[in-house]
Amino acid sequence: MSAAARKRAQRMRDSRAAIDAVGDEQNASLRVLLAILGRLEASEPARLSARRAWSEIGRRYGFVSVTEQPNVEETPSRNKE
């Protein structure tokens, strides 16, 4: 196998790993998380995946504090009687 063919195969494996890691960013390797950030597209799912990847990188290396989003169902309503 030539060097170009090995590199092409590596790129295909990296691309597949990035696709498979969407939604499971906590268990992805740093290389895959960086690939997710690099694939940021204009679509909403890609932006959400990139946000989760960035949060996971920050959590692992301690430079981003991730706070839990408040649950809407638990928020008291002013309109209830």
Domains of the chain, by residue range, sit at: 3-61
- Cα–Cα distance between 33 and 14 in angstroms, integer? 11
Q: 């169902």: which residue's tokens?
A: 73
Instruction: Give every CB contact of residue 34 below 8 A, 6+ residues apart in sequence.
Output: 53, 57
Residues of the chain with pLDDT under 50: 75
Is the Cβ–Cβ distance between 40 and 46 less than 8 Å?
yes
CB of 25 closer than 8 Å to CB of 33:
yes
Give me the pLDDT at residue 4, please. Answer: 95
Confidence at residue 46, expressed as pLDDT on a 0 to 100 scale = 84
Q: Residue 69 has what pLDDT?
A: 60
* pLDDT at residue 79, rounded to an integer: 53
CB atoms under 10 Å from CB of 32, counted, come to: 21
